[in-house]
Amino acid sequence: MDDLLQDSTVNQLVAGDVVEGTVSSVKKHKVWIDFGPAGVGVVLRREIGRGVVLEEGQTVSSSVIDPETDEGYALVSLRKAAKDKGWDELEKVFEDGETVTVNAYDANRGGLLIELRGIRGFLPVSQLSADHYPRVSGADKDEILQRLNALVGIDIKVRILDVSKKENKLIFSEKEAIRDDMKARFEKLSVGDVVKGTVTGVVDFGAFMNVDGIEGLIHISEISWDRVENPGDYLKVGDQVEAKIIAIDQDRLSLSLKQMTDDPWIQEVEKYTKGDEVEGVVTRITPFGAFVQISPAVEALVHVSELGSSDSDPGKAFKLKEKKTFGILDIDKDSRKISLSLNKK
């Protein structure tokens, strides 16, 4: 009798244990599992796990939540068992630097929500590649969320950036998954190369461009030889453009549209000589003087010291869009500057 009692305790279920059993019945809200001599367990639908489909006769691992309920069966969780196993697997994936394919089940304004190996994790916006980063004018939060929602359900290759079972933290990075490939692409590029790409975002300070998966920035000062007030007047999202590489940083290209053509300033300034009188239109008034447009591509400066009086006020001496005659004091081609005087020389 002692031997029988001892044997009967060997197979008793203990809370927290992970045990194997056979699915004996699949109902709408519950799944029954046969543990043999250890008895029967039930899994509530919420404890099965996202996307898991069970069939009768299937062998599964489950974690014991309650060894014996009032009804006489054990309450178990497939989701918890998979989660405990998943943490171990994800730590190995992280240590090995392995690339895995995931797809988001939801999104918020900060990034994508992802479940892998039964563990829920997060792919921040900052860790998305140039192909997927939501470049939005004015950082419109609703539009950002709309762009991120479009990524839900599609396959994305990522690496694990951080994993911690203790902190319940799992962070993914698409940038890290393609870093080696990006490095190889960067090595093929040089300053001065002309590249083709697609405009992915237009912002106040310029426009972003996708060049074969590499992000490039066309700064507002590199869009046109003319003064650019609004980049959106020159570029739109989706535009296919060619640009010249003017700098290569670690993760981004600096690009120029205007350097694809000759500088019209150099061409137009050739017709001017120091001492010439020119007509110009006042375009800006500042405390130190006024800027004057003397040709479509050439803007010159009348310094406050050249207004004819030591206490002259540019705001009183000029009106915007006013046309006046000036004398050319100096032409500095290297610095692309022309100095004018209101007192014609």
pLDDT digits (tens, 9 = 90+) for 37-65: 889 999 988 888 777 888 889 998 888 98
The model's pLDDT over 183-217, given as tens digits with 9 standing for 90+, comes to 888 889 999 999 999 998 898 899 999 998 899 99
What percent of the chain has pLDDT above 70? 94
- CA dist 321 and 190 (Å) reads 43
Can you give the pLDDT at residue 296? 84
**Topology (CATH level 3) of domain 97-177:** OB fold (Dihydrolipoamide Acetyltransferase, E2P) (2.40.50)
What φ, ψ does residue 73 adopt, rounded to 5°?
-110, 170
Give the 3-state secondary structure of residue 264: helix
Place of tokens 């014991």: 64
Sketch the domain layout of the chain as residue ranges.
Answer: 2-82, 97-177, 189-260, 264-341
Place of tokens 């290759």: 157
> Residue 4: which pLDDT band, with cuts at 50, 70 and 90?
very low
Can you give the pLDDT at residue 2? 53
Q: What angle do CA 317, 318, 320 make, to 5 degrees?
A: 165
Can you give the pLDDT at residue 3? 53
**Topology (CATH level 3) of domain 264-341:** OB fold (Dihydrolipoamide Acetyltransferase, E2P) (2.40.50)
Check residues 28 and 192 and name the one with the higher pLDDT. Answer: 192
Average pLDDT over residues 28-40: 90
Closest CA to 170 of 62, 86, 85, 110: 86
**Tokens coding 121:** 């994790």
Can you give the pLDDT at residue 311? 59
Can you give the pLDDT at residue 189? 92
**DSSP string over 185-247:** HHHT--TT-EEEEEEEEEETTEEEEEETTEEEEEEGGGT-SS--S-GGGT--TT-EEEEEEEE
Q: Do domains 189-260 and 264-341 have the same CATH topology?
A: yes
> Residue 135: which pLDDT band, with cuts at 50, 70 and 90?
confident
Place of tokens 């535009």: 239
- CA dist 166 and 175 (Å) reads 25
- CA dist 273 and 222 (Å) reads 28
- CA dist 289 and 287 (Å) reads 6
The model's pLDDT over 212-232, given as tens digits with 9 standing for 90+, comes to 889 999 999 999 988 888 999
Evaluate whether 173 touches 166 at the Cβ level (below 8 Å). Answer: no
Can you give the pLDDT at residue 62? 87
Give the 3-state secondary structure of residue 308: coil
Average pLDDT over residues 301-321: 82
Can you give the pLDDT at residue 286? 92
Strand-pairing partners, residue 245, are 255
The model's pLDDT over 256-274, given as tens digits with 9 standing for 90+, comes to 999 999 888 888 888 899 9
Q: Which residues of 189-203 are buried (b: 16+ CB within 10 A; e: fewer)?
A: eeeeeebebebbbbb
> Residue 28: which pLDDT band, with cuts at 50, 70 and 90?
confident
Judged against a pLDDT cut of 60, whether residue 21 lies above it is answered with: yes
**Topology (CATH level 3) of domain 2-82:** OB fold (Dihydrolipoamide Acetyltransferase, E2P) (2.40.50)
The CATH-assigned architecture of domain 189-260 is Beta Barrel (2.40)
Q: What is the mean pLDDT of the chain?
A: 88
Q: Which helix (H) or strand (E) holds 86?
A: helix 78-96
CB atoms within 10 A of CB 258: 19
Rg (CA), the chain: 34
Poorest-confidence range of 172-176, 213-217, 332-336?
Answer: 332-336
Check residues 171 and 318 and name the one with the higher pLDDT. Answer: 171
Strand-pairing partners, residue 172, are 160
Q: Which residue intervals of the chain are DSSP H helices?
A: 2-10, 78-96, 141-149, 174-177, 179-187, 264-269, 314-317
- CA dist 160 and 326 (Å) reads 65
Can you give the pLDDT at residue 138? 64
Evaluate whether 156 touches 123 at the Cβ level (below 8 Å). Answer: yes
> Residue 139: which pLDDT band, with cuts at 50, 70 and 90?
low
